[in-house]
Amino acid sequence: MRLDDLRESENVEDRRGGGFGGPIMLGGGGLGVVGVIIALLLGVNPAEILGGQGGADQAPATSTAGFQPGGTARPDDPLLHFSAKIVGSTEDVWGQEFARRGLRYQAPIFVPYDGATQTACGAGQSAMGPFYCAADHRVYVDLSFYRELRDRFGAPGDFAEAYVIAHEVGHHVQNLLGQTEQAAQAAQVYGQRGANGASVRVELQADCYAGVWANRANATQHILEEGDVDQGLAAASAVGDDTLQKAARGRVAPDSFTHGSSAQRVRWFKRGLQQGRLEACDTFETESL
């Protein structure tokens, strides 16, 4: 990727090093169908919330420290600066898109952390992978996930890492556009889970929005180099439900899909990347994913 023309976002809340935001609070309570879909849009695994790691009424952690580029150097500092540039690019792209529609884009806060952190959606843990919390408008990433993406999922490269961030920002765009209701309606029509379910439709739309970002960023900031698209497609494929299930259990259970198959994730990311339009990403109105 070409990063020279990208600015670093100032909307970064660096929680690396631990000790941030006090103890992780755990809550309880069940969720209905709409609650489960809202949880999906929050970027939180509904099973985790149903199991007790929830508490949407919990106050979000706050900080006035923000991103401190100085101080003690860490081995993952280059990843932090890289991430801040990708977040800054998403702000530019979505700010322009929202303005074109007569809307104001409110950028999310990017939160790098180590191991675990407190969020307005409950306990955030690195085992969950990157996630978005709509209750506090924050994208949470343990930067060690990039290493896991490379070593465990076999998807190395800058653009693969950028795809991860752009996907989570895609959930923020969904939240700002009020697409929670669409997800709830989709759950009534298609069910919550499965290869054609509402959860998959939410995630595939975020994949498509990641593709739209890449299309627009390349048009204005010329970010793509040879091989970058292949890296993004490899990342989308590597985190498909079927690929992950086969690696973990040796079999695939489409009825339990929550994010989409590898083929579906690649298809919708490519769709956004090739067309560069939000309208191309309506996963709720199409019969076939």
Residue 235 tokens read as 């990342």
What's the confidence (pLDDT) of residue 18?
65
Winning range, highest mean pLDDT, from 32-46, 90-104, 228-242: 90-104
DSSP state of 21: S
90 CB-side CA count, 13 A = 29
Distance CA 138, CA 141 (A): 10
For the cut 50, the answer to whether the pLDDT of residue 30 exceeds it is no
Question: Is there a contact between 155 and 149 (Cβ–Cβ < 8 Å)?
Answer: yes
Question: Is there a contact between 260 and 207 (Cβ–Cβ < 8 Å)?
Answer: yes
What's the confidence (pLDDT) of residue 68?
52
The predicted model gives 191-214 an average pLDDT of 93
Proportion of the chain above pLDDT 70, given as a percent: 81
Dump pLDDT digits (tens) for 77-129: 999 999 999 999 999 999 999 999 999 999 999 999 999 999 999 999 998 89
| Per-residue confidence band for 51, with pLDDT thresholds at 50, 70 and 90 | very low
User: DSSP strand E in 64-194: where?
Assistant: 109-113, 116-119, 122-125, 131-133, 138-142
The predicted model gives 42-47 an average pLDDT of 45
Mean pLDDT of the chain: 82
What's the confidence (pLDDT) of residue 145?
93
Tell me which of 174 and 186 has the higher pLDDT: 174
Tell me which of 70 and 165 has the higher pLDDT: 165
Proportion of the chain above pLDDT 90, given as a percent: 53
Dump pLDDT digits (tens) for 237-286: 888 888 888 888 889 888 888 899 999 999 999 999 999 999 999 999 88
What's the confidence (pLDDT) of residue 248?
87
| Per-residue confidence band for 35, with pLDDT thresholds at 50, 70 and 90 | very low
Lowest average pLDDT, out of 22-31, 95-104, 166-175, goes to 22-31
Task: Kindly calculate the radius of gyration of the chain based on its CA atoms and give it in whole angstroms.
Answer: 18
Question: Is there a contact between 144 and 14 (Cβ–Cβ < 8 Å)?
Answer: no
What's the confidence (pLDDT) of residue 26?
27
What is the domain partition of the chain in residue ranges? 33-67+78-281
Find, among 205, 203, 204, 229, the residue nearest to 218 by Cα.
229
For the cut 90, the answer to whether the pLDDT of residue 47 exceeds it is no
Dump pLDDT digits (tens) for 126-155: 988 999 999 999 999 999 999 988 998 888
What's the confidence (pLDDT) of residue 19?
44
